Each structure stands twice: as C-alpha cells, then as structure tokens.
Amino acid sequence: MKIFALPHFGCWSLFIMVSMMVGQGSNVYSQGKKVALLIGVGKYAKDTDWADLSSVNDIELMKTTLRQVGFDESNIITLKNEEATHEGILQALNQRLNQMVSKGDIVYVHFSGHGQQGKDENGDELDGLDECIVPYDSPKKYKEGVYEGKRLISDDLLNEILLKLRNKIGSAGQVIVALDACHSGTGIRSGLKARGSTDIMAGSTYLASLKSYKGTESATLNLDKTSQSDVAPVVALYGAAQNQLNYEVKAESGENFGSLSFALAKSLSSLTGNVSFRTLFGRVTALMSGTSPLQQPQAEGSLDVSVFNLSGQETKPSFSLVSLKNNQLAIQGGFFKGLHKGSKIGLFAEGDTKQLIWEGVISKSTAHLSYAQVSDDIFWDNIKNLHCYVIEDSFSTPPLDMKLDLGVHSSLKELVQDKPYIRIVDSEPEMILKEYQSFVTLRTKDGFVLDSFQMASTADMKETENHLSSTIKKYLQGKWMRNFESTSENLDLQFDLIPVSKDLKAVKKGEFEVLQEDADGQKRLPVGSDFKILVSNNGIKPAFFTLLDIQPDNIINILLPSDNYTAEEMRILPDMKMLIPITFKTGYPLGNELFKLIASDKPIDFKSPLYNRKSNSASFLEKIFHLSLTDGFYQTKSGVTGDNKNIHIYSQSYIIVK
C-alpha cells in the first residue's frame, strides 16, 4: 500500500515518552515428551488425477526443525506418499499417535498435500461444505455411485480425533496442527504448484441446492470449544484462507516447499526462548508476506500459550561442527540461522572468541546445514570440538527469473538478457516482460504491474533500458529488504499500530489501545485507515531506528525518518515507549503489507545519498541498501559481506483490504 503521512503540528518534543520496566514473568513448563505426526503427500496414486507437489520436502524440513526444538527422532512418525492413505492416516492418528502420548505431552500434527471441499454431512457449515485433507488414495473427481469422497478426511473427523488426544494428555499438554493445503483453485501461478482444487466432492444436485458454495474467507477447522477443564489447549495454523490458492515457494537452495511449512520451519528455527503461538504466527505471516503475498495464513485456538512449552533459554550465537568428509566441513546451521553462501566464518575454542583458529567461507547452504571447503592439513580430530562463529554475513539475492513475451520489439530481449540480476526462463518466472500492440508491461508472478509504457521507436532503447533496469532493481531491493533479518544481543525494538480511525478494532495493551487481530490471527487495515506508530525499546541500550513499509509489489516506502524528523532524532532509550506524532493513512495496492522496524547503534538514513554523508557516518546496512540499486551488488557470486551484529529487525505483516 502507499502510506500517506497526514499533516501534523508540533515538534520532536511532543513525542510521548513512557517509562516501561521490563518484568521477568514466571512460567510452568510441561515435563512431558514431545510427539509428532508428519504427513506429506507429494505423489498421489495415478488414478486419482491429483497433480504432484513438493510435500515430501516439507516433511524432511519439519522433521529436522522439530528435532532442533526438543523433539526426539524416535517420537516423530512420518507418513509419505503411498503410506498416507486414508486408512494409514487414521491408523496413525487413532492408534500409533494415541498409544504414544500420556498426560502432559505435546502433540504436533502436520499435513502437506492437497485440500478439497466436500458435502457437509452434519449441517454445521454455513456454506454447506466441509473442509477436507486429501489422502494418497482419494480421487479428485466426484462420480455418483462410484466415488463420493469416502476416503477424504473432513474437518469434523479431525476435530473428533483431536479432542480425544486433548482429553488424554490433559491441560498440561498441547495439541498443535498445521495444514499446508488449500481448498480452492486449480490454477498454477507462473508454473508454481498450488495445493487444492475447485472440484468439490459433491453431486450436482447437492451443489444446486446450495445458495452459494464459494466458501467463506475462513479456512479454519472450527476447533471444538469444549468446556471441559482438564483438556489440552489446541492451536491450528493454516497456509491460506479457504478461498485462496496455497502456493509452493522456492528456497535459496533451489528446493520447493509449501509456503506455510517453509515459513513455520524458519520461524521455529529462529526461536530465542519462551514465546507464544501468537508471536510465532506473527513471524510466519511476516515471512509469508514476502514469499506468498496473495495468501493470508490463518490461525485459531489458544494462541497465547507458549510454543511447545519451551523454556526461556537463549540460543547460542555459535554453531557446532557435524562432520569433515572430502575436505568439506559440515556445520549445524543453514540459511534459516543466517549462514548463507558467502558468509565468512571462523572456528574458535568453546567460550573463546578472541583466538581465531581457522577462517573460511560458506560454499553451500541448506535450510539447516551449511558447508565450507578446508585444506588437506585440517583434520577432524583437531577441530571437532571447536565452535563456528559468523565473522561477516553475506548479503545477496539470486537473479530474477524473467519470462519474455515479446512481439515486434524483440530487441527488448537484448536490454535484459545480459544483466547480472536477470535470468531468462521459460517456466516458473518471478516476473514477465510482455509486449502487446506496442505497449510493454512488466508484472510480477502475483499479477502486480510494476510498469507499463508505450514503445515509440528503437531510438528510445537506451532510455527504455535505463527505465527497465531502475524498476527491476527497485523491486529486487524491496525483495532483499523484505527478507533481511537480524538480531542483536543489546538491541530489541518493537512497534504497534495505534488506531486513529474509529472503525479499526483495538485491544488494550498497557496504557495504549493497539490494533487488534481478527479471529483468524490476521491484522487487517481497510484502505483509508488512519493510524499512528508506537515504538518500544525492550533492549538494554539506546537505539536509533527507521521504519519501512514494503508493499505487496516490493515497493519500499520510508515512513521514518520523515521529512520533519532527522535520522539523529529517531532515538529511543531502554525501557521507554515512544508514540510518533504523525498520522499515517493506508492506500493501494491491496494485499499483505510488511512493516519493518530496523534498530541500530547509529542513525539510519536510507533517503540521503551516500555521497552527501560525512565520512564513515553511514552504517553498513545503508551502504548495502544503496548498493542494491547497482549492478555491482549482483555481480559477485558469493554476495557482499559485512558485520550486522549491531542491527535488530522487528517485522509485522498487515492485510490491506477494501
């Protein structure tokens, strides 16, 4: 959306500064075991007519992630492809899983695959349709008298099974369900796979009897709101609303994953202590706003309980070594933990970061593992007890996959094909350059038109090239900033939106009324809404900050500093809150908007060109921000490296609606 700053009066001294003591809360943590059932159907039976998915990738990703947060591998059940039949899934839920759990345990159930709507058998759905997950052996098409959906697993049946588990493990345990599927749409967005179908498992007579079977925006299971006291709290997470497609995403390693699975695994991998499912879901929505801007993940249940009842221990900044084979050092930590290809690393004795024993560069990175090449004179027995630390992070973005659909002006191809930040592809493009009747449009895979212009003559080619290059690099800059994350031991800033428009929902938070999320866990802002920003410093040091608004089409709006306040004035002390005396207004485009609060130990000014700054006054992040608009940023294969240890990022996602 375009954010407009409305007129305001006064000066910086009108900021409301509120002293805020950070209290240490106490929590009771479950001593029970953690048990998981991971179901992934990527290849369905041939006679079912379902398209293949990358669901098995999700299961391996989630399995590794769960092990990192306290799940023992012996307590993780996996069902893949032909194992995940209707009978196999129900047997795993009702018998294998049920027999493994006892009082106080934590149960996690994950499904990645297709979703479908079917006939509402008990009349509890407003639209007359049940939401169902599709097992390996459930056909796509309804055939009266032949197949009428008996092998689908409905939301009603899942609720019934979950309630039995909740009763067995009691109020000290937890039940968590994640469904990376959807119930609408068969289309493919630029070649990327969608999970679900518009084919409803019901006969024509039944469908004709419904006033509408378009479904509602809610994709939730309508979890059983039992009044029993000794019942486990339950949380459910969904990849998309019922009337939306749920697309897969491509990771920097080149693998495809379900959008919810990828965001959830990354969010769980970055947990630093005791957080609620509400906070976790906020991180998931922020990540998905970048990978899947047209989807609206949803959540329901007891969102304020602690994630897996984890303790508040902070994660260590070091990484353990896994193995050394053929001069390739494997490290326990991948791009989920900030170990990207090109990152400079060092090996140190545990607890001693002053004496560098070996220094190298990450040559390959997956979600949970990374690799570095070492010389022949390094032996495993000499280094296996050392710890790996990041010396300099690597900052890069892969080339933009572009598809060309050109007519008369085929010479446009010459303007883009040799750019270091563009890769011409025939399938799964991220951007499409299309010509139609002398008009040229540049649009994203999600349908956002970034530019549209008329080609007058070949004499304008240089101007056209510069214009296209500028537009594409601004898009890539927004994409890079959207995905950039960083944490600091000393800096910890957060923000809330304070509603000004009376029609916005608000909830009391301390002495302020902050924007409230809807029942599905999402925060929505209609176009034309007015709001203010409340910044809180929960860290131990003063911090400077800037606030970015990144639109669904990756266009960046710099909200703070503004024309009225300098970067040096954007400073907040520890244990303080600051209400910014500017009223902002939402605008188009519609979709998932990301607000990104960046804290630093020095002023941050993304607006001023570097050549106007005093020597060494610009932070490393500012230099990268401006460098991302140049060809040089994309010409180095290993990325641009630098130290971002004094930068802290806090993001929140909002849905802009009509």
What are 491-507's pLDDT values in tens digits? 999 999 999 998 999 99
Closest CA to 397 of 451, 461, 329, 476: 476
pLDDT tens digits along 563-615: 888 999 999 999 999 999 999 999 988 888 999 999 999 899 898 776 666 65
- Rounded to 5 degrees, φ, ψ at 571 are -140, 135
Domain residue extents for the chain:
4-22+484-657, 41-309, 319-393, 400-478
Q: How many CB atoms lie within 10 A of CB 221?
A: 20
Sign of CA dihedral 524, 530, 536, 542: positive
Place 548 in a pLDDT band, splitting at 50, 70 and 90: very high
Q: How far apart are alpha carbons 493 and 538 in whole angstroms? A: 6
Place 639 in a pLDDT band, splitting at 50, 70 and 90: low
H or E segment and range at residue 169: helix 155-169
Answer with the residue of higher pLDDT: 457 or 81. 81
- Percent of the chain residues topping a pLDDT of 70: 81
pLDDT tens digits along 315-329: 457 899 999 999 999
Strand-by-strand arrangement of the 439-444 sheet: 422-424, 400-405, 431-436, 439-444, 449-454
H or E segment and range at residue 178: strand 174-180
Q: Where are the beta strands (DSSP E) in 455-612?
A: 493-499, 506-509, 512-515, 524-526, 530-537, 543-550, 556-560, 571-572, 576-579, 584-585, 591-600
Buried b (16+ CB within 10 A) or exposed e, 598-609: bbbbbbbbbeee
Question: Above 60 in pLDDT, residue 485?
Answer: yes
Q: How many CB atoms lie within 10 A of CB 512?
A: 17
Q: What are the CB-based long-range contacts (under 8 Å, 24+) for 27-30?
A: 27/274, 27/306, 27/312, 29/306, 29/309, 29/310, 29/311, 30/104, 30/105, 30/106, 30/172, 30/173, 30/174, 30/309
CA geometry: angle 185, 190, 196, nearest 5 deg: 20
What confidence score (pLDDT) does residue 19 get? 35
Place 529 in a pLDDT band, splitting at 50, 70 and 90: very high
Question: Above 90 in pLDDT, residue 314?
Answer: no
pLDDT tens digits along 550-565: 998 999 999 999 888 8
Q: How far apart are alpha carbons 391 and 379 in whole angstroms? A: 22
Instruction: Tell me the CATH architecture of domain 319-393.
Output: Beta Barrel (2.40)
Instruction: Tell me the CATH architecture of domain 41-309.
Output: 3-Layer(aba) Sandwich (3.40)
> Are 69 and 55 contacting, i.e. CB atoms less than 8 angstroms apart?
no
Predicted TM-score (pTM) of the model is 0.80
Coil, helix or strand at residue 98: helix
- Average per-residue pLDDT for the chain: 82
Mean pLDDT on 383-390: 91
Place 411 in a pLDDT band, splitting at 50, 70 and 90: confident
CB neighbour class for 404 (10 Å; exposed up to 12, middle 13-18, buried from 19): middle
Closest CA to 239 of 448, 58, 80: 58
Q: How far apart are alpha carbons 260 and 648 in whole angstroms? A: 24
* Length of the chain in terms of residues written: 658
Q: How far apart are alpha carbons 477 and 586 in whole angstroms? A: 22
What confidence score (pLDDT) does residue 9 get? 33
CA geometry: angle 446, 364, 190, nearest 5 deg: 15
Token match 């490393």: residue? 620
DSSP-derived letter for residue 575 is: T
Question: Above 60 in pLDDT, residue 28?
Answer: no
Buried b (16+ CB within 10 A) or exposed e, 14-46: ebeeeeeeeeeeeeeebebbbbbbbbbbbbbbe
What confidence score (pLDDT) does residue 12 get? 33
Coil, helix or strand at residue 623: helix
